[in-house]
Structure 1
């Protein structure tokens, strides 16, 4: 089957890389290119810039557009971009890895719909959005191309993708465009990798569950995951751990999804926030105890004064413990 779909995902450091990628793609490219950059809700001139930098036209698609070869499609701000065998679907569904648009939904949908026709490309970025999606590309017979971490501004995303899915090719920014063309032209026979065999039905079920804009029924998640003693950092809902752990990932019943790395980063942030909240509370308690102590002293109330002195000492001890913990 002819390979004719290129999915590209990146975050911090990927913007400048895309300029080199599109500049190397030929005007007669017999493939459609789909790009997700972590732009959130922010308006971007990326499609017009890509058109200016390269030989292919680029645009934000509309929901339901029929995709075609020789064109670059960019995920619009605040929308996931998914593809079917012939159309583009836009979704305002739950964020994945705290991102919308996110990379995983594009890669996952392309892999399930188009199998070995897909090339998945991961560029520079933080954390590991795209690692799960790239495993779908690999599992369904597609090829994987990853920016060499040694040439990436942010190395976490390409490194995580390599660990999760492996790379058919590693390339520097200057080589990526040419590597895409080479992979498109390479034989697509014998793509399946028996060493990475997966339960394909489970992956299809996961994709169908993930792409449901209304979220997932508990029974659907129970069929592909196990309930975890963790709450969703986005909505506070119940979380499930996917049984397929390459990479480790979690999903809540309202649709939010996280890799293990992203969830750890979220928990670290929540812990730090809680500790600073505790510091604030103790500083306020200390200030109040000092006011009450001064008031008791001026009234000549020795017992109340001693109680407030004890409170002051306790607050100071707790503040030191908290500040030492934050400093570690």
Structure 2
């Protein structure tokens, strides 16, 4: 039987992740017998100094990954901005494919590709972040015989990602970030039987199809291969296309373009879209107020009292709507009592 070490550590983090990554990297020894790949969720279009930060944080060199770069043991490979970092056989690949949970690079894209490429040789690490990013990835790693480590939620600045990972898998390690480095180094020295990978399953086939969508998106676009799962009643926040549920009961979705969403990320994005629509409505109402003021003034100037009254009524109605909507937005989305907003039960804006 062919043997190997657990020689790839894939790490995912989001909000609060820089601090956790620095603590983890500080604990990794210079003779680490594994390559490390890191995805930190960041705004699209932004620059990143993460490689330099991690290089100064510990004994290992840290570089931005490039397509075709080999998995180098004892080195940290950082996903560059606006590109998915993937593992293909024993090399890294970069992709500008569809976002996952609104992110590129995305934690799940790295974890899933690593699991497919290297199976039991992979250890997945989930650090600080909100929502449920990384869950699908660690499930894929575990299904193929890999190991999972999670930052102790009590140690994370944002415990959402660690807590969600713990709900779906039983990890080998649950530790503060500062203690994960030595523990991961010990895991990396474990021998694994490459034949220990779990036999193929429908879930694995879907994961492999998702990996192809992200990696070969230029080839698969328009071929119908993006259409996996069953049509849902939801729409994609990124492109407004129909979302398919990847498999019944998974609460994971992917649209025709290829954008992927977990249920928590989808709910968050829909909430953001709703708030954006409300702010747009507020701006439109305020413009209506200013326009009604000018129209009323013009009507009074030409002695047309009837028209001036109509415009003034429109102005008053718009002002009441502005007050209600602004109070709602500034209250964080909590309904404002009618007596505080100035609206009455007979007011069409109440």
TM-score bracket, shorter-length normalisation: 0.7 to 0.9
Alignment of 1:16-55 (within 5 A): 16-39=19-42, 40-55=44-59
Give the Cα–Cα distance (whole angstroms) in 2 for the partners of residues 295 and 29 of structure 1.
78
* Matching of residue 157 in structure 1 with residue 161 in structure 2: yes
Answering whether residue 222 of structure 2 is matched by residue 220 of structure 1, we say: no
Report how many residues are paired: 324
- Residue 227 of structure 2 corresponds to residue 230 of structure 1: no
What is the deviation of 1:161?
2.1
Deviates more, 1:182-191 or 1:11-20: 182-191
Q: 1:314 to 1:213 in 2, by over 3 A?
A: same
The 1-side partners of 2:248 and 2:113 are apart by 17
Q: How does 1:277-296 map to 2 (within 5 A)?
A: 277-296=280-299
- 1:6 and 2:6 matched: no
Secondary structure at the counterpart of residue 128 of structure 2: coil
Question: CA 1:32 to 1:288, structure 2 compared with 1: closer, same or farther past 3 Å?
Answer: same
Partner of 1:106: 110
User: Which residue of 167, 177, 186 maps to 1:182?
Assistant: 186
SS at match of 1:50: helix
Cα 1:98/1:77, change in 2 over 3 Å: same
Match of 2:266 among 263, 266, 274: 263
Once the two structures are superposed, residues 162-203 of structure 1 have per-residue CA deviations (whole angstroms, 9 ceiling, x without a partner) of 223343321102211122123334565797899xx8632233
Any stretches of 5+ residues in structure 2 without a counterpart?
A: 335-350
- How far, CA to CA, are the matches of 1:65 and 1:104 in structure 2? 20
Runs of 4+ deviating beyond 4 Å: 186-194, 215-218
Tell me the secondary structure at the aligned position of residue 88 of structure 1: strand
RMSD: 2.6
Q: Which residue of 2 aligns with 1:138?
A: 142
Deviates more, 1:113-122 or 1:165-174: 165-174
Normalised by the length of structure 1, the TM-score is 0.88
Paired position in structure 1 for 2:318 = 315
2:73 and 2:323 map into 1 onto residues whose CA distance is: 62
Q: Which residue of 2 aligns with 1:71?
A: 75
Deviation at 1:59, TM superposition (A): 1.6
Q: Report what 2:252 is aligned to.
A: 249
Per-residue CA deviation, residues 21-44 of structure 1 (Å, 9 max, x unaligned), is 222222222111111122444443
SS in 1 for 2:9: strand
Q: Structure 1 residues 277, 52: closer, same or farther in 2, change over 3 A?
A: closer
TM-score (norm 2): 0.83
Do the aligned residues in 2 keep the contact of 1:146 with 1:169 (CA within 8 Å)? yes
